Structure 1
Amino acid sequence: ENQYIAYVAYPLDLFEEGSVTNLFTSVVGNVFGFKALRALRLEDLRIPISYVKTFQGPPHGINVERDKLNKYGRAYLGCTIKPKLGLSAKNYGRAVYECLRGGLDFTKDDESVNSQPFMRWRDRFLFVAEGL
């Protein structure tokens, strides 16, 4: 009673190639955030093989990260840079610098920050690298 099944399809062009985070944030995060629904269950997710082949997997594990940072025996402390939209690449780099200078081990991009016209990935990378 009052239960329905919906099939939702998205064009692949909406997703960044090789980004598990972008895929799940877009599909699961946006759908489950739809306030008009009181209850929702994802029962199946089909990803085309052509898109799956764009995922490269992690380059290495946590031990390599610990060796690089020389941090052992404790959890890492990090944050997601906010606001997720509206910062210039330069201001984003400054925010990363301030977080790390303040003692955090790492920062990360918000899931929905990719390479938008107002803040391209390469520009963001260069300003963050400068701050390091």
Structure 2
Amino acid sequence: QGRCYHIEVVVGEENQYIAYVAYPLDLFEEGSVTNMFTSIVGNVFGFKALRALRLEDLRIPTSYSKTFQGPPHGIQVERDKLNKYGRPLLGCTIKPKLGLSAKNYGRAVYECLRGGLDFTKDDENVNSQPFMRWRDRFLFCAEALFKAQAETGEIKGHYLNATAGTCEEMIKRAVFARELGVPIVMHDYLTGGFTANTSLAHYCRDNGLLLHIHRAMHAVIDR
């Protein structure tokens, strides 16, 4: 179980304290963000004996951090795939992000890439809505990508959002992106879930896909 080893009074506040709590590493499953947070920010926050509780900071020992694979690829691999060095990468998110048909969305991708951008990107809530199903979007974006590459002689990228309602559907979309030859997929990792994100990261690592992580919902937690 956890052990509180130090308590500090919050200066200038009445009945507020900072408690330092340590947990034995054996309480946590290796490589599982889900298990770690279930233990640290789980039911304890709902205990009636506590009037208020907030997580201020979290320090993870290196020995536990090493049980996680980490990002499948870094910025250098992205530069290698796009063949762009010595300058910042220039990209944009397609706007308007909602309401366009897949064909018009693909046209916007093409115009941006043809106009000089290195990559374009789906926004976080572009998934598979009635006005633009994911498979159609993937196909038109891939067509735009390869057309822009052929006309400019440069390698281009588009971040295809693979976020879905289930892990199985998410992986299915990532597999299709890879089959199309698109180099990058993205995932809304907070709303999509830690387990889903780890599963997708493992797939991308094993199959040479770049993975872009979107921060949707982070401000609810840390603002």
Distance 1:11 1:70, change over 3 A: same
Aligned residues of 1:80 and 1:108 also touching (Cα < 8 A): yes
TM-score, with structure 2 as normaliser: 0.34
**How big is the shift at 1:59?**
3.3
How many residue pairs are counted as aligned between the two chains? 130
Please report how far the alpha carbon of residue 89 of structure 1 lies from its aligned counterpart in structure 2 after TM superposition.
0.6
1:67: Cα distance to partner? 1.1
Secondary structure at the aligned position of 2:21 is classed as coil
CA drift at 1:45: 12
User: Higher Cα Rg: structure 1 or 2?
Assistant: 2
Tell me which moved more, 64-73 or 18-27.
18-27
Question: In the aligned structure 2, how far is the partner of 1:103 from the partner of 1:25?
Answer: 45
50-59 or 74-83, which moves further after superposition?
Answer: 50-59
Moved more, 62-71 or 99-108: 62-71
Cα distance between partner residues in 2 of 1:51 and 1:24: 13
User: For each residue in 1:13-37, what CA deviation from the matched residue of structure 2 results, as whole angstroms up to 9, or x when unmatched?
Assistant: 9999999999999999999999999
Worse-matched range after superposition: 27-36 or 38-47: 27-36
CA positional deviation for 1:66: 0.8
Q: Measured at CA, do residues 22 and 4 of structure 1 come closer, stay the same or move farther in structure 2, by a change above 3 Å?
A: same
Select the residue among 50, 67, 73 that pairs with 1:54.
Answer: 67
User: Cα 1:76–1:84, aligned 2, differ >3 Å: closer, same or farther?
Assistant: same
* Structure with bigger RCO (C-alpha 8 Å, 6+ apart): 1
Look up the SS of the partner of 1:23 in the other structure: helix
Q: Write out aligned runs for 1:52-131 (5 A).
A: 58-130=71-143
Cα 1:106/1:5, change in 2 over 3 Å: farther
* Contact map agreement 1:93 1:124 (CA 8 A) in 2: yes
Gaps of 5+ in 1: none
Summarize the Cα distance change of 1:60–1:13 in structure 2 as closer, same or farther, 3 Å threshold. same
Q: Secondary structure at the match of 1:5?
A: strand
SS at the partner of 2:15?
A: coil
After alignment, is 42-51 or 75-84 more displaced? 42-51
Change in 2 beyond 3 A, CA 1:3/1:59: same
CA displacement, residues 76-101 of structure 1 (integer Å, 9 cap, x when unaligned) = 11111000111001111110000000
Between the aligned partners of 1:123 and 1:11, the Cα distance in structure 2 is 49
Whichever structure has more strand as a proportion of its residues is 2
The percentage of counterpart residues that share the same residue type is 93
* Distance 1:17-1:37 versus aligned 2 partners, 3 A rule: same
TM-score by length of 1: 0.55
The Cα of 1:72 is off from its aligned counterpart by 0.4
Q: Secondary structure at the match of 2:19?
A: coil
Relative distance call for 1:18 and 1:111 in structure 2 (3 A) is farther
Deviations 1:30-77 (A, max 9, x none): 999999999999979999999999999643221111111111011111
Q: Distance in 2 between matches of 1:83 and 1:47?
A: 40
Structure 2's unaligned 5+ residue stretches are: 1-13, 144-223
Question: 1:11/1:59 Cα in 2 relative to 1: closer, same or farther (>3 Å)?
Answer: same
Q: CA 1:14–1:36 in structure 2 vs 1: closer, same or farther (change >3 Å)?
A: same
